[in-house]
Structure 1
Amino acid sequence: MSGGELKAVEPEEEVQRDTVRLLSGANGSSSEKYVLEDDEDEESKLDEWGLDGRYTFDHAVEHMGFGRFHWKLLMLCGVGYFAEITELVIVGFVAPAIEKDMGLSTVEYGLLGSSSFIGMAAGAVFWGYISDRFGRLISFSLTVWMTFIGGFLSAFSPNYPILFTLRFLAAFGIGGMLPVDYTIFLEFLPAKKRGSHIVLVGAVGVIPALFVSAIVAYSFSGKEDIKWRWVLGIVSIPVGIMAVLRRHVPESPRYHLAIGEVDKAQSILEKVAETNGVPLPRGKLAPLRKKGSSGESESSTSMHGKISLLFKGDILRATTPRLWLMWFLTQFSSSGMVFALPKIFDETFSVSKKRIALDLLWGVFGLIPGLTIAYFVVERSRKYSLAAYYVAAGASVFMFMLTTMGFLKNEFLAIVMSILLRGSMEGCFSLLNCTSVEAYPTLVRASGLGNAQIFDHIAGAMSPLFFSIFNDNTRLRPIAITVYAVAYLAAFVPTVTLPMDYVGLAIKD
């Protein structure tokens, strides 16, 4: 690792303590602060990193730093976010065309938007558990294939029931991709700039997703209609390409270590170190548990994915319900606005479908400053940076309402507000993903994020239905938009009261 040597504040037996003790809520968890000490002769001090010729997992990943392997993994993990964003944006954009083409009722139209979130909620729970119980790799591979197959075949749906089923299948895969992708990426990361690197996962996924979605939508939009089958088919192709490339990703070595497979963990670390072009510390990888604690090891293995562990200890008891509320409020507002934007631009400014797609494409440019700022501020504070983004998102929604329904009604101003809204919206999600995946130990990490996403997807399923209630009466539409703004602002409270801020802390084993 360039720039100095990593030295743990506590000795190895305290850093690599038993997983069960980590869940007890004691203050002395594996989330100790690490300090960097400048030293020219790093090689001479590697032996200090372990006891009896051993080194800890955290010492190994810190020593390897962020290198070539991590950049490759970053790109492959971004596909999960890519798939979710294209699902939400494209379904919201093509829903009016599908409604017209298939003659959908008001309820069917609302369910079409909600089907994505129903599938993602089920997938988040199922694949999060599978990932914690049987390893990250099986979920990492199967979820992306399920997403591609369901998404691509939906372009050929002959009727509404088959379309709904295939979109549900794709969403079931997407629901698992996010918790699993963030989990496996986190478990390879060093503590230094970890938050910034997690934000990059969102950037790698969401920026291409929105650009591809908007460009494809623009290209296949006529003056009065949208070739929705072409849109659904084309946006699924990048997911299929990534499904093929993902087969080269190894299992998480941190997961192997958590279930006592030390040799497998070390083998993967050696390959990562070789890819990054750096050596591992001297000696052998130390296990999480000392020899002779086989009873504890078996108990811990059986605890993988247990929902009750999300509330084990004072910190998790305070953190988990706050995260659930934050996910609910964030997605309720975000999915509602994403679903509402095409409809509002269409009926407010009476322009062509192609012009609407262009207006939405302009909004994508807000992602660049929004995620760039998040990349830097996340290393200052997770929770206070996220709280600031909630305030910005709520204010943007209010201003968008004024530029489309109020005294500031103007298409150009509406586009500007949509740009600000997009940037703050994606900043919220990037920082929330970072905060959530860092909060849980290895044996419930994917389940922790997956269960939080239940509330995310429940909110997403409710929000299009909520908007459709007010959609038929344009005079009542400001009520829905106001509720979305208030929800963003309400998320400020649970965010600033989170008990932990994980800047500079090692993640829990």
Structure 2
Amino acid sequence: MANPYHVPDQEKKAPLHSPDAESEISYDKGDLLSLESTDPALNAKMHLVNDAIDEIGFTPYHAKLFCLNGFGYATDSLLLLVQSIIATNAGNEFHPSFKRGLTVAVYVGMLVGAIFWGLSADIIGRRFAFNTSLLISSIFAIVAGASPNWIVLGLFTCLSAFGSGGNLVLDTAVFLEFLPSKRQWLLTLMAAWWGVGQLIAGLFAWAFLPNYSCKDPNNCPRSSNMGWRYVWFANGALVLVMSILRLTVIRLRETPKFLVGEGEDEKVVEVLQSIAQKYNRPCSLTLEKLTACGVTGAWNQERRGSVSAHAKKRYSPSEVLVHLRGLFETKKIGLSTSLIWLSWLLIGLAYPLYNVFLPSYLATRGAQFGADSDFITWRNYAIVNTAGIFGPVLAGGMCASGWFWGRRGTMVIGALVTMIFFFCYTQVRSESQNLGFNCAISFCLNIYYGTLYAYSPEVLPSAHRGTGNGISIGLNRVMGILSAVIATVADTNTPVPIYICAALYIVMAIVAAIFPFEPYGSRSS
């Protein structure tokens, strides 16, 4: 293989910091995509930026990102579950012809949001999308609680999901692009916030629905059925507070790895030096070191007539093609992208079949075991979601230690153990077993899911990370829409969805085992 750091002689400015001089160090430190035949100047600059980020280390700024980016995770799961939680009560009031309409609405919003915000993050930058998407989500979540009919409720649910679904694309990308390599496992741990969002949704449901819902579904006026509206108001207000904290506490600057792809060397140095100075950390990166690596995109322009990160006209259909082509730059990167997208398709069907319709599982099983009150149903729901928080905690520890094949091994274990519990769940014969197995499934499922959320941006090329991640999550949402159709024509109170989920997790484990890249011990590119 040709040296990926080779730069034509006319592009070399200073021998000390030339790509060839850095190549041996680069291989030793293991920049994940550095050995792929991609833009050598970009690879060399990315290596220097990774060096600088590692030199600065983990700071309070990263801790803020972990918490407030993590709430983006929480918002996505929170709003996904809110529509499921309130659908029955809202349906009793509005008597819709299509009872799964809110599920379709939320997944359509998340699908469009993931693709729109993912592309915009690669075209105009991470900062604008990061600051805007969560605010949009919170506003429409609050307004949804005042909906006068089922169609309007579906519209506001969709618009709220448009913001949260796009925000989820940015949370991992932004955090990763500031994160020191030794702490990249925190990206997996951050998925614990997904369980926090589920817990919040469950607690609000537990607080409001048993006490403020009508008992007769055939006679359910608004005045005696305010519980589902309170759930929307409470969740929307919480998201609004967090979106404001993002603007006031983090004050995000554009990520250095996005700026590298843009060729904005001076801004890259400015961003990293400002963090280092604020927290009294060393940072030896200089503009001279970056410019010595050559011109970003010159290699691709010579080969294809276009720069590496953008089309000649940035706001055009060809811009989308550039980012899609970048996700298949080499055979290995293309295989990786394809397998990631397949994994998201599979989990996109398995997860909603289990989790979106979990209330019906719990209610039906509870009725069989003599625990059919609303209070018990939502209490159990909160307990199950609490268990889900700790799956990513274990996954983060496994990723940090590199135990059993790093990220890929963690996903394989998570998928297979989840599959086992799915099959065992069909043998539940008591209320305590019902609750225990649901907790175990929630815990193990999030080991896989949390690791996949982190793995995807880690192995995607930085210049096209938003697009690749957006399409990944978009495919996930397509399958969520399909799950609503399945739930309409099938009986979700039977064990059939559980068998389907178990089979899908076997396939997911196989796909995880053949992923071509392993981020453990390497740095994201």
Does TM, scored on the shorter chain, surpass 0.5?
yes
Distance 2:381 2:488 in 1: 20
- Most deviating of 368-377 and 136-145: 368-377
Aligned equivalents of 1:401 and 1:27: distance in 2? Answer: 50
**What SS is found at the alignment partner of 2:481?**
helix
Aligned to 1:104: 96
Match of 1:237 in 2: 237
Counterpart position of 2:103: 113
Counterpart code for 2:210: G
Find the aligned partners of 2:72 and 2:393 in 1 and give their Cα distance: 20
For the residues of structure 1 that align with 2:20 and 2:293, how far apart are their CA atoms? 17
Determine the structure 2 residue equivalent to 1:373: 394
Amino acid in structure 1 at the alignment position of 2:325: S
Task: Report the equivalent of 2:276.
Answer: 273
> RMSD value over aligned CA atoms?
2.9
> What aligned pairs does 1:436-447 form with structure 2 within 5 A after superposition?
436-447=456-467
The 2-side partners of 1:127 and 1:138 are apart by 10
Q: Percent identity?
A: 21
| Comparing 151-160 and 293-302, the one that deviates more | 293-302
Partner of 1:487: 504
In structure 1, the partner of 2:316 is none
Shift of residue 481 of structure 1? 2.0
Instruction: Tell me the residue number matched to 2:419.
Output: 394
Once the two structures are superposed, the pairs formed by residues 467-486 of structure 1 within 5 Å of their partners are 467-471=487-491, 477-486=494-503
- The 1:282/1:507 distance shift into structure 2, 3 A limit, reads closer
Amino acid at match of 1:201: M
CA contact (8 A) 2:39 2:296 kept: no
Q: Higher mean Cα deviation, 166-175 or 215-224? A: 215-224
Match of 2:209 among 206, 209, 221: 221
Give distance in 2, aligned partners of 1:274 and 1:462.
50
User: What SS is found at the alignment partner of 1:126?
Assistant: helix
How many angstroms apart in 1 are the aligned matches of 2:25 and 2:81? 43
- Give the superposition deviation at 1:116: 1.2
Contact conserved, 2:112 with 2:162, CA < 8 A, in 1? Answer: yes
Equivalent residue, structure 1, for 2:383: 362
- Per-residue deviation at 1:10? 7.6
Q: Once the 2 structures are TM-superposed, how far is the Cα of residue 464 of structure 1 from its aligned partner?
A: 2.8
Count of residues in correspondence between the two structures: 466
One of 466, 479, 482 as aligned partner of 1:459: 479
Question: Contact conserved, 2:327 with 2:464, CA < 8 A, in 1?
Answer: yes
Cα distance change, pair 431–292 in 1 and its aligned pair in 2 (3 A) = closer
- Asked whether the equivalents of residues 111 and 474 of structure 2 are also in contact (C-alpha less than 8 Å), the reply is yes
Is 1:24–1:313's contact at 8 Å kept on the other side of the alignment?
no
Provide the C-alpha distance between the structure 2 equivalents of 1:485 and 1:293, rounded to a whole number of angstroms. 46
Paired with 1:81 and 1:14, the residues of 2 have a C-alpha distance of 38
- The runs of 5 or more residues in structure 2 that have no matched partner are 1-18, 28-32, 215-224, 312-318
**Runs of 5+ consecutive residues of structure 1 not aligned to the other structure:** 1-8, 33-49, 404-408
Please say if 1:130 is aligned against 2:130: no
The answer (yes or no) to whether the contact 2:256–2:271 under 8 Å persists in 1 is: yes
Candidates 418, 423, 438, aligned match of 2:443: 423
> Residue in 1 aligned with 2:260?
257
The alignment status of 1:324 with 2:344, answered yes or no, reads no
Tell me, yes or no, if the aligned pair for 1:14 and 1:30 is still in contact at 8 Å. no
For the 8 Å contact 2:365–2:434, the answer to whether it is kept is no
Query: Displacement, 1:175?
Result: 1.7
After superposition, the C-alpha distances for 1:110-129 in whole angstroms (9 at most, x for unaligned) are 22112211111111111111
List per-residue Cα deviations over 1:88-116 (Å, max 9, x = no partner): 222211111122111122xx222211221
| Residue 450 to residue 23, structure 1, CA distance change in 2 (3 Å) | farther
Answer yes or no: is the 8 Å Cα contact 1:257–1:287 preserved in 2.
no
1:104 to 1:289, Cα distance in 2 relative to 1, 3 A: farther
Q: CA deviation at 1:16?
A: 8.3
Q: How does 1:292-307 map to 2 (within 5 A)?
A: 295-296=298-299, 299-303=307-311, 306-307=323-324
Is the contact made by 1:16 and 1:30 (CA closer than 8 Å) also made in structure 2?
Answer: no
Q: Distance in 2 between matches of 1:114 and 1:286?
A: 51
Shift of 1:434: 1.4
Moved more, 301-310 or 359-368: 301-310
- TM-score (norm. length: structure 1): 0.85
The 8 Å contact of residues 25 and 313 in structure 1, kept in 2 or not, is answered as: yes
Matches of 1:289 and 1:144 in 2, distance apart?
A: 39
SS in structure 1 of the partner of residue 499 of structure 2: helix
1:198 and 2:200 correspond: no
Q: Closer, same or farther in 2 for the Cα pair 1:261/1:292, shift >3 Å?
A: closer
Query: How many Å apart are 1:271 and its aligned residue?
Result: 2.0
